[in-house]
Structure 1
Amino acid sequence: MERFYLENKSKYHSLVDALDPLPKPRIPKGMSGPNIIVSARIRPLSENEIFPSAVFPRANQKNVVDIHDLYNHPKGIPILKSSDYQVDKLFNMDSATEEIYKELVVDLVPYAWNGGVGTLFAYGQTGSGKTFTVSRVEGLIAETMMNGKFEGKREVYMTIIDLAGNAAFDLLNEREPISLREDSLGATQLVGAQENQVFNVDDMKAVVERATSLRRTAPTLKNPASSRSHAICRIRIRNTENGSDGLLYMVDLAGSEAARDVAVHGADRMRETKQINISLSVLKDCIRAKAEADTATTLHRERLGPKVPHIPFRQSALTRVLKHVFDPASTRGCKTIVIACVNPSLADVGSTKNTLRFAELLRVLVPLTDESDTEKQSAMHWTNMQLREWIKENVS
């Protein structure tokens, strides 16, 4: 297929230039869920990439991207097939990581400082910029957290682990194996993992660099040092005065690979890729189910009934570690950011569409209800006491 793309490169450009993209179908009246933002980042084409870009942010519609693929028609005429996707925030090739941090991530730091749980996931094909994005964001978090501008006394601790299948390893202790165990309160504990206290920006960056050097990588057709595991950086902010400890999770997910990208590496790599893709599928189900649960809460539980979407966090080690992020029964506030990292090359258009499809599936829209309808519906469920109070306040 790559040969076909190269032979018809000029034809591809002419077809794209002549295309007038259709508007995306009108979105149902609503807004994104209150506790999750799904974004996409398109990395620039590198100098040594010979294929044109297949990814085109739409100029007249915010956060919509068109993907144009070239197909070999049975009659031998190259034709263009297009698809479009929408996210909450779209960052173009010229968007710096600092811009993404300011728009998406920076608010998670004071949120966690004050006892909340903030989580960032970076997802996408290997070579799409996940690790580059996460490592830079971790450095920016260190600078924000340690600038001395937040109120209250806190102690900051870091733990960084690697998940390969159902096995877990401590990246701050020479990849020593650790255990994932559920305590009496139902929380997942990282038994055997070191937790390093950090006191300044340099401490935090040094911990991240040490962990990165021990992360498991292996070559694929797309990347000679592809991350073949999920790296989880946990920052615990201990409130020494009162209140709950805050938590920040930076999750650099293993590259989502097509079978053709790993087939030449043998049966072990195929099994490894299967495990990675299963864990990513479970993660998608958990994030979406949590968003649906949050949406149901936003739309008044008394109207929707007590049923809560099932969240299958026990089905993989990754989601077990992050159980508290997905648990709808949790009393702690939790906010989640997803960055779908995209390789724009036409040669990777299949993986790009899969990444953006994954991102779209995570979006759960909250319908916007008319205020008067909401008030009427709520009044139908008032108790006698509520009704008497309303009459007392509104009827002379």
Structure 2
Amino acid sequence: MEQFYLENNLKYQSLVGALDPCPKPRISNGMPGPTMVVSVRIRPLSKSEGFPSATFPRSSQKNVVDIHDLYNHPRGTPILRSNDYQVDRLFHSDSTTEEIYEDLVAGLVLFAWNGGIGTLFAYGQTGSGKTFTISRLEELVAETLMNGNLEGEREIYVTIIDLAGNAAFDLLGDREPISLLEDSCGITQMVGAVEHPVLDVEDMKALVERATSFRRTAPTLKNSASSRSHAICRIRIRNMEDGPDGLLYLIDLAGSEGARDVAAHGADRMRETRQINISLSVLKDCIRRKAQADTTTSLNRGKPGQKLPHIPFRQSALTRVLKHVFDPAGARACRTVVIACVNPSLADVGPTKNTLRFAEMLRVLPTTNETSADRKSAMHWTNAQLKEWIRANCGTPAILDSVVAPRESGAHLFNLSSTEIEYRCQKCPGVKQEQAKAFRSKLWQMYIIS
């Protein structure tokens, strides 16, 4: 595929240059959740990669990015395929880590300082800049906690662990194995991991550097020192004034990988990749269902007996540690920041779309009175109303209302199987399985609320 992109580089740039500079405004299908902010960071494009950028942030619509891919059409003429995505915050390739810190993380640190539980994690393809981002953010967090400008007296303790599959290791204890066990209150404890007191910024930096030296890495096709495990830095902020202790989790996730990235891997590396992708898949399910739970709670505020989605956090060690993020019944106040890191290169357009699709699905559905009323009545839509909704949410290339719902009302369409809906979508020119599944997912969300 890379050779196809190289051979058609000029064709690609010509097609992109011919696009409308003011694309049709994207209709948002989500909004910032009450406890979670979803962001995307586009890393700079390296000249050594030899490919043009496929990632184009919109200047006319904040936090929306267009992805343009070149499709090797069977008829022999390459065509352009475009997708757009929207998140809560979008950081361009010229954005600095300091800007990200001020916008997203400084408030999270203050929240933890005052007794809350703050969680930050970086997700993305191998080589997309996750470790680079987290490493600098850890330094900025240390400076904020230690500069003496925050009110109140606190003590700082740091624990850093490594998760490889379902095995856990203490990175500040010479990579000794530890256990992840739930206590009587249902809180996951890192049994065997040592908490280290931190007295100043240099202490914190030294601990992070020591942990990095013990972290599990290996060369891959995309990265000569790819992280083969999830690193979790937990900062406990002990309140010396009889208030609750705050917790701040800074998580550098192992890089997700596709088939192209693992083609040259041996058996051990393939096994690691499978474990990484399984844990990331469980993480996606947990965060997505937590967003659905937040939406259900806000839509049914005050109504007894509401049923919340099941959140499978016990299916991996990573999500057991992060139970506080997903548990709708948790007693502690929690806030979460997601930084999805993407590579802008055309050669990585597939993983980039996967990462952006993941990030976009974490945003909760709109909960304004007008939108809630419209969605609650979706089961009773006429064919004309249903077609109007399809046209507004069809994506690019367009999913045709006359093909998906030629005669059906809302109730009739929601009663169709997932396979039938996706089949109808793929009958539309240019629509592939991924877009059909995304569209069907929107219909499913409509059905849940209705």
- After TM superposition, the score normalised by the length of structure 2 is 0.80
1:114 — aligned with what?
114
Whether 2:90 is the aligned partner of 1:75: answer: no
Distance, in Å, in 2 between the alignment partners of 1:359 and 1:3 is 29
For 1:79 and 1:226, the matched residues in 2 are separated by: 33
CA distance in 1, matches of 2:80, 2:297: 43
Distance 2:281 2:24 in 1: 30
1:363: which partner in 2? 363
Matched with 1:143 is 143
Structure 1 CA distance for aligned equivalents of residues 34 and 7 of structure 2: 47
1:380 — aligned with what?
Answer: none
2:143 alignment partner, SS class: helix
Alignment of 1:258-273 (within 5 A): 258-273=258-273
Aligned-residue Cα RMSD (Å) equals 1.6
Q: Post-superposition shift, 1:15?
A: 0.6
Amino acid in the other structure paired with 2:323: K
Aligned to 1:383: none
Q: Which amino acid aligns with 2:17?
A: D
CA contact (8 A) 2:180 2:190 kept: yes
- Distance in 1, matches of 2:57 and 2:222, equals 24
Question: Is the CA contact (8 Å cut-off) linking 2:298 and 2:367 kept in structure 1?
Answer: no
Q: CA deviation at 1:75?
A: 2.3
What is the alpha-carbon distance in structure 2 between the residues aligned to residue 128 and residue 292 of structure 1?
28
- Letter in structure 1 aligned against 2:3: R
Deviation of the 1:25 alpha carbon:
4.0
Give aligned-pair identity as a percent.
74
Would you say the 8 A contact 2:121–2:253 is kept in 1? yes
Aligned ranges 1:85-96 → 2 under 5 Å: 85-96=85-96
Q: Following the alignment from structure 1 to structure 2, what is the Cα–Cα distance between the partners of residues 295 and 231?
A: 30
Aligned match of 1:256: 256
User: In 2, Cα distance between the equivalents of 1:189 and 1:146?
Assistant: 26
Residue number in structure 2 paired with 1:99: 99
Are the aligned partners of 1:259 and 1:270 in contact in 2 as well (CA < 8 Å)? no
Q: CA shift at 1:322, angstroms?
A: 1.1
1 CA distance for matches of 2:26 and 2:114? 40
Aligned CA distance change for structure 1 residues 25 and 303 (closer, same or farther; 3 Å) = farther
Measured in 2, the distance between the counterparts of 1:296 and 1:105 equals 27
Q: Is the 8 A contact 2:157 2:237 kept in 1?
A: yes
**Where do residues 290-369 of structure 1 align in structure 2 (5 Å cutoff)?**
290-303=290-303, 305-369=305-369
- The answer (yes or no) to whether the contact 1:6–1:51 under 8 Å persists in 2 is yes
Task: Map 1:280-295 onto structure 2 (within 5 A).
Answer: 280-295=280-295
Deviations 1:130-186 (A, max 9, x none): 000000001001111111111221110000000000000111011111111111111
Q: CA deviation at 1:24?
A: 4.5
The alignment partner of 1:231 has SS state of strand
Report the alpha carbon displacement of residue 302 of structure 1 after superposing the two structures with TM.
Answer: 2.7
Task: Letter of the 2:55 partner, please give it.
Answer: V
Q: Is the 8 A contact 1:86 1:360 kept in 2?
A: yes
Alpha-carbon contact 1:34-1:295 (below 8 Å) kept: no
Alignment of 1:215-254 (within 5 A): 215-254=215-254
AA at the equivalent of 1:23 = K
Question: Within 2, Cα distance between the matches of 1:100 and 1:232?
Answer: 20
Q: Which residue does the alignment assign to 1:196?
A: 196
Kindly indicate whether residue 217 of structure 2 is the aligned counterpart of residue 214 of structure 1: no
Measure, in 1, the Cα distance between the counterparts of 2:28 and 2:8.
35
* Equivalent residues of 1:160, 1:232 under 8 A apart: yes
Unmatched segments (≥5 aa) in structure 2: 374-450
SS of the equivalent of 1:152 reads: coil
User: Counterparts of 2:309 and 2:335 in 1: how far apart (Å)?
Assistant: 18
Deviation, 1:60, is: 1.0
Q: How many Å separate the matches in 2 of 1:193 and 1:167?
A: 13
Contact 1:122 1:339 in 2 (8 A): yes
The alpha carbon displacement at 1:291 in A equals: 2.4
Q: Which has the higher contact order (CA 8 A, sep 6+)?
A: 1
What is the match of residue 378 of structure 1?
none
Matching residue of 2:16:
16
Runs of 5+ in structure 1 lacking a partner? Answer: 374-396
Structure 1 partner of 2:398: none
Contact 1:313 1:319 in 2 (8 A): yes
Letter in 2 for 1:153: E
Say if 1:36 and 1:335, in contact at 8 Å, map to a contact too. Answer: yes
Cα distance, 1:301 vs structure 2: 3.1
Inter-partner Cα distance in structure 2 for 1:292 and 1:245? 29
- The residue type paired with residue 358 of structure 2 is F
SS of 1:303's equivalent? coil
The whole-number CA distance in structure 2 between the counterparts of 1:241 and 1:298 is: 34
1:116 touches 1:247 (CA, 8 Å); kept in 2? yes
Measured in 1, the distance between the counterparts of 2:289 and 2:7 equals 44
Contact 2:294 2:364 in 1 (8 A): no
Match of 2:274 in 1: 274
Aligned residue number for residue 390 of structure 1: none
TM-score relative to the length of structure 1: 0.90
Deviation at 1:289, TM superposition (A): 1.9
After the TM superposition, which of the residue ranges 311-320 and 285-294 deviates more from structure 2?
Answer: 285-294
Whole-angstrom CA distance in 2 between matches of 1:203 and 1:69: 46
Aligned mates of 2:304, 2:133 — CA distance in 1:
39
Q: Distance in 1 between matches of 2:198 and 2:204?
A: 6
**Partner residue in 2 for 1:44:** 44
Q: Does structure 2 conserve the Cα–Cα contact (< 8 Å) formed by 1:33 and 1:366?
A: no
CA distance in 1, matches of 2:216, 2:78: 41
Distance in 1 (CA, whole Å) between partners of 2:25 and 2:279 is: 31
The residue number in structure 2 matching 1:26 is 27
Q: Which residue of 2 aligns with 1:384?
A: none
3-state DSSP class of the match of 1:263?
coil
